[in-house]
Amino acid sequence: MPHATLDALFVRSAVCPEGKSKVDYYDTAITGFILEVRASGGKTFHLRYRDPHGKQRQHKIGDSKSLTFDKAR
């Protein structure tokens, strides 16, 4: 569960470590804001949170190719 200061430059340069199918980078500035990077090169923004009942949920914000970092944030 790597943490990083997510910004537009980080999103462009982020890669999935060899031998893994995907890796999630957790933003240090916004709790629950995640960049998922897949081995295929795909990158997706997610928001992870707890609902009113305490259950963990994850909402897909969008793909980095169709959504800028600033809009996702």
Residue 29: the pLDDT is: 94
Please list the residues that pair with 22 across neighbouring strands.
Answer: 38
> Quick check: 1 pLDDT over 80?
no
CATH value at residue 16? 3.30.160.390
Structural domain of residue 18, as residue ranges? Answer: 3-72
Domain count, the chain: 1
Mean pLDDT of all residues in 45-72: 95
The pLDDT tens digits of the residues spanning 12-56 come to 999 999 999 999 999 999 999 999 999 999 999 999 999 999 999
